[in-house]
Amino acid sequence: MIKYHPTEELLTQFSQGALPATLSIAVSAHIELCDCCRSKVESLESANADTLFTTLEDDIEQDDFSSLFAQITSSDDIDIPKAYVPKTLEYQNRTVALPRAIANMKRGNFVQLGKLSRSRLQLDDGELRASLLQIGAGGEIPHHTHTGFELTLLLDGEFSDERGSYVPGDFIWLDGRHHHSPATQSGCLCFTVVNSALHFNKGLSKLLNPIGNLIY
């Protein structure tokens, strides 16, 4: 059962189209996996539409509004959308169907470092970096905190850290207040968004800090 969700503020901004592209992708992917948040977003979008039409009615003369609405609804043309065919990803001898928002984005090849493997989304979104991240069975990311924020949406498999265990659909937002060392027994696939480098805290992993800005 999904335990970690976007905040009400994030869901509201998403429904208004006010989020940066990478965060919008993350929320869209989450609501595809989470019935609870999908229902909330549908209610928010309905309220947004009611507000918009009320504003239009207030700003436009009734005759003009009726004429405008009649023009919009006068066409008898019918658009028949193509059936969506889920796009899958093969990883670690598994096949997973990617959420639409992620599947439709261009991304680079996976680059592997030990049990970690990352594919960067080809998206120009300022300081925000979005990636697909694989952790192989028995893998762990060294203990670290964040110089900015880190958003992780678990797409497949499992991992755990000092806060608990996570299942597909969990939407985990961490920042400089949090320290953790994510580990997985059976392997996992995540969608991640960060806006700054990780800061490694212990042992030999501290040697990675001077190049942190290059690897985030």
For 196-207, what is each residue's pLDDT tens digit?
Answer: 876 676 654 554
Task: Summarize pLDDT for 36-76 with one digit per residue, the tens.
Answer: 999 999 999 998 887 777 766 566 666 666 776 777 777 77
Q: Can you read off the two tokens belonging to residue 191?
A: 């969608």
Average pLDDT over residues 97-110: 94
Superfamily of domain 88-215: Jelly Rolls (2.60.120.10)
**Average pLDDT value for residue range 128-133:** 94
Q: Where do the structural domains in the chain lie, given as residue ranges?
A: 8-73, 88-215
E strands, the chain, are: 88-91, 94-97, 111-113, 116-120, 129-135, 144-146, 150-157, 159-161, 164-166, 171-174, 188-194, 198-200
